Amino acid sequence: MQAPIKKIILATDFSDTAKDASFYALWLAKTLGAELIPLHVFDVSVWNVPSQYYLKPGFDGVVEGIEDSKQRGKETLRKLEEEFDIKVDTVFTEGRAGEETVRVASELKADLIVLGTHGYSGWKRFAIGSVAEYIIRHAPCAVLTTRHLDRRKRERRKTDRRKSNS
């Protein structure tokens, strides 16, 4: 029987949560003999600047800051590639993280997307949105989300305390 997962995309924002997800993605790729593709989306929407600022003195510094951040993202993706002990092909793209991840997964005919989720709820989720939720709802393939290990430990402690108080 042939493994149904041949191509895995690791969507990363380089956070601790994404580092945890990379552990699972690498393990799955090795176990299944699948291709691993680390993907980083440089989210240009974070840098949206109203048009009236384009002509103001000092705006060149903002543009340089964007380019510096973009270059740091590319370098960090390259370093991540070097950390894996298997050959990987990385993808760096620009746009909204959820939309670009889904687009790349479709384009590359991925079988699985692996990503970390911060697990925000309430106001934080409303204010910053949920990339993971967008990907889960729109992905052309299976999606595996992981939570940061420290966060999971805190959640277990809360559950254990509730049980002991009952």
Residue 72 pLDDT exceeds 80: yes
Domains in the chain: how many in total? 1
- Interval 115-146: pLDDT, tens: 998 765 555 554 445 888 899 999 999 999 99
For residue 85, give the 3-state DSSP assignment: coil
Phi, psi torsion values for 124, nearest 5 degrees: -60, -45
Phi, psi torsion values for 144, nearest 5 degrees: -115, 120
At 62, the pLDDT band (50, 70, 90 cuts) reads low
Per-residue pLDDT, 70: 86
Q: Which residue type, as a one-letter code, is found at position 96? A: R
- Are the C-beta atoms of residues 22 and 121 closer than 8 Å to each other? no
In a domain, 46, yes or no: yes
Per-residue pLDDT, 54: 45
In a domain, 75, yes or no: yes
Q: What is the CATH number of the domain that holds 50?
A: 3.40.50.620
In a domain, 135, yes or no: yes
pLDDT, greater one: 136 or 46? 136
β-strand partners of 91: 39
- Per the structure, the complete domain to which residue 103 belongs is given by 7-165
- Are the C-beta atoms of residues 105 and 9 closer than 8 Å to each other? yes
At 63, the pLDDT band (50, 70, 90 cuts) reads low
In a domain, 33, yes or no: yes
Token pair recorded at residue 147: 């939570």
- Interval 88-124: pLDDT, tens: 999 999 999 999 999 999 999 999 999 998 765 555 5
In a domain, 74, yes or no: yes
Token pair recorded at residue 68: 């510096």
